[in-house]
Amino acid sequence: MSEDNQEVLRLENIKKSYNIGQATETEVLHGIDMRVAKSDFTALIGPSGSGKSTLLNLIGLLDSPTSGELFLLGKPTREMDDATRTALRGNSIGFVFQFHHLIQAFTAMENVLMPLMLAHGKPNKESLDRGKELLTEVGLEKFIDKKPNELSGGQQQRVAIARALITRPALLLADEPTGNLDTKTAADVFALFRRFNEKFGCAFLLVTHDPRLSDSCDQTLTLVDGMLVKQ
């Protein structure tokens, strides 16, 4: 298997139900099979209520499937204990959301370093150098000491992208990452994703309602009524 074809994520017959055992039991995902390899750049689209958020929560190890198995970097995750799951998520997955969730009291650099500080405590020189490098990559080298309220919406989203990449994740999950941005800023953010995808080999999975974004991805997965209908 070539390095670029190395498997990052695999879902085998993933099902997810809520209110199990009750009269209101509902199956939201009905046997999802999918695979994401290193360097893949994939869009996940589908109408509201199709199960995209549920699927993203499972892939992000924020929830567990009812049945089936989810492999991250070759490791089966459904029966993992919370501590192992949290460690794997922290080391392997980056998250970028529609709302950037920056900590207002912290500078751009402190926000970027937060995942490393949560895992390892006070950042060392290597971490600080990596944070500065990422902020430079996203064009914010002059804003390292600025607080979020001193940055534009697009700049704040760039800080969130740098934060998601600070752990050098194998997989980056982006949930409507350009939903709050104007057209030009959205295009700039997408170009950043592309650059990081090519530079670091990080696999990207973007949930989006924007056809311009999904059309620019290498492949598109469509989720309808809890089932993948095309790939």
Nearest to 224 by CA among 48, 88, 73: 48
Q: What is the pLDDT of residue 168?
A: 86
Burial of 28 (0-12, 13-18, 19+ CB in 10 A): middle
Structural domain for 28, as ranges: 3-230
The total number of structural domains in the chain stands at 1
Is residue 35 within 8 A of residue 7, CB to CB? The reply is yes
pTM: 0.85
pLDDT averaged per 10 residues in sequence order, the chain, 231 residues? 73 90 84 91 87 90 92 90 88 81 90 82 83 87 91 87 88 84 79 85 88 85 86 55
Q: What is the pLDDT of residue 69?
A: 95
The CATH code of the domain that includes 33 is 3.40.50.300
Q: What is the pLDDT of residue 2?
A: 47
Q: What is the pLDDT of residue 121?
A: 74
The maximal CA–CA distance of the chain, rounded, in angstroms, is: 57
